[in-house]
Amino acid sequence: MMNQYASATVVSAACNYIMERPDKFTHTYRTYVKLREHGKLELRFWHSNAIDSTWDTGLVARGGALGGQWRIEAAYVADGGTAPDGSVEPNSQVRVTFDGGSGARSVAPGEKFWSDPVKLDLPEGHLLAFTWTISTDAGGKTVPYNTEQMLVTAYDAPGVRADASDAEGFSLSENLLVMPALIASAKPVRQRLVFLGDSITQGVRTRRDGYEYWAARIADGLGSDYAAWNLGSGWARAYDAAAEGAWLSKVKLGQVPGTGTQIVLALGVNDIDIGARTSEQLLADLNTIITVLRQNDPSAEIILFTVPPFNFSEEREQIWRYVNEQIRSASLPGVDRVFDMAALLSQPAPLEHRLRREFMSSADDPHPNGAAGKVVADAFLAWYFGER
């Protein structure tokens, strides 16, 4: 399937949380995303009903856990216009169907599935609006989603509102990104890239609807004939992927054997921080990820990023330094190329473990801001094409 379709947006819809409610519910979610191409499109949507990565300490959501039983009552795509105000352009909605024409679909725990193809004419500069109504028959843990800071505008409303073109009943969503794992377009591409990382790859703390994080800027610089699938996930760590659960299976889906898919790995911050992993454990997890992906598709090219500075101190600083020494020395087998993101963002020695102040998203938050995203993307693009 993926040899015919490629990711059409750089927005990450990786799941790091799960809905847990005492009672059954019916609710509608509408999300606006910028596609990387416009005009007459053939789209398909793929979803995985599982949690990709661990949130915080994993008390509520742990990477690899399955979603619950829920149902898609209706789903639509539409021309979202140029301003995401909760409405869609009149008469632009097209129903999304499943399994050969069904407008509804029950979703089992851990299930992975595609929609049927859907055609939409999206004017240049307009956003895609994806809307679906989801219901459950009981309370408890049900629908996985992303709860990190919203990087795109989304709305939600109680009840069945998927077919509504107006904004009546919709409220602006906060920390609630409920959308398919992959929006794919039928088109030939020159190259496929999959970005696997944490909140820094996802773009957390950059401007909403700004698409100014490094993965988005790289995709813009490459152009629309390069497919880019962003699997960045807030709080994610390498051991989530090394466990070979739902998250790594998405990377495998993005690998199209024989095409030389490029996989960019940018992990380690949360392993050193909240994950409290040793350098040996982190390097072993990275080795596992690389080995599994290499076995899945020997033609894939694996690009490993150094771990960016995150104002670590004491033992964590030493782990950060050692891991980056090992990455820079090209000692991890199976890695084709290393890109030194840390060197671009670090303060001068001996404070390399600290993010440059102009790149911090706030005075006390070392998540890189949009200016850092530009520096990383510009350097990556020069390095990427200069190496060829």
Give the model confidence (pLDDT) of 253-283 as tens digits.
Answer: 999 888 889 999 999 999 999 999 999 999 9
What string of H, E and C letters represents the secondary structure of the chain? CCCCEEECCCCCCCCCEEEEECCCCEEEEEEEECCCCCEEEEEEEEEECECCCCCCCCCCCCCCCECCCEEEEEEEEEECCCCCCCCCCCCCCEECCECCCECCEEECCCCEEEECCEEEEECCCCCEEEEEEEECCCCEEEEEEECCCCCCCEEEEECCCCCCCCCCCCEECCCCECCCCEEEEECCCCEEEEEEECHHHHCCCCCCCCCCCHHHHHHHHHCCCEEEEECCCCCCCHHHHHCCCHHHHHHHHHCCCCCCCEEEEECCHHHHCCCCCCHHHHHHHHHHHHHHHHHHCCCCEEEEECCCCCCCCHHHHHHHHHHHHHHHCCCCCCCCEEECHHHHHECCCCCCCCECHHHEEECCEEEECHHHHHHHHHHHHHHHHHCC
The answer to which of 15-29, 197-211, 255-269 has the lowest mean pLDDT is 255-269
Per the listing, tokens 């059409």 go with 8
Q: Which residues are registered as beta bridge partners of 360?
A: 368
Task: Work out the percent of the chain whose per-residue pLDDT is above 90.
Answer: 96
Q: What is the pTM of this model?
A: 0.97
Amino acid in position 210 = G
- What does the pLDDT read at residue 331? 79
Amino acid in position 160 = V
Task: Work out the percent of the chain whose per-residue pLDDT is above 70.
Answer: 99
- Predicted confidence band of residue 346 (pLDDT cuts 50, 70, 90): very high
- What does the pLDDT read at residue 36? 96
- 1 has pLDDT over 70: no
- What does the pLDDT read at residue 257? 83
Calpha distance 326→14 (Å, rounded): 28
CA distances from 160 to 29, 67, 81, 167, 199 (A): 10, 21, 22, 13, 32
What average pLDDT is seen over the chain? 97
Q: What angle do CA 56, 61, 62 make, to 5 degrees?
A: 85
Give the β-pairing of 191-197 and 226-230.
parallel
- What does the pLDDT read at residue 318? 98
- 60 has pLDDT over 70: yes
Through-space distance between the first and last CA atoms of the chain, rounded to whole angstroms? 29
Mean pLDDT of 93-118: 98
CA distances from 68 to 18, 37, 138, 301, 331 (A): 9, 34, 10, 35, 41
Contact yes or no for 323/268 (Cβ under 8 A): yes
Calpha distance 380→305 (Å, rounded): 10
- Pick from 250, 267, 265: which is nearest to 64 by CA? 250
Q: Which residues are registered as beta bridge partners of 246?
A: none
- What does the pLDDT read at residue 388? 52
Main-chain dihedrals φ then ψ at residue 272, nearest 5 degrees: -70, -35
- What does the pLDDT read at residue 148? 87
- What does the pLDDT read at residue 387? 62
Percent helix, strand and coil across the chain, each rounded to 5? Answer: 25, 30, 45
Task: Decide: helix, strand or coil at residue 342.
Answer: helix
Q: What is the pLDDT of residues 294-342, one digit of tens each?
A: 999 999 999 999 999 999 999 999 999 999 999 999 879 999 999 999 9
Contact yes or no for 13/180 (Cβ under 8 A): yes
Torsion of CA 241, 243, 249, 252, to 10 degrees: 70
- Pick from 29, 124, 133: which is nearest to 79 by CA? 124
Mean pLDDT of 206-232: 97
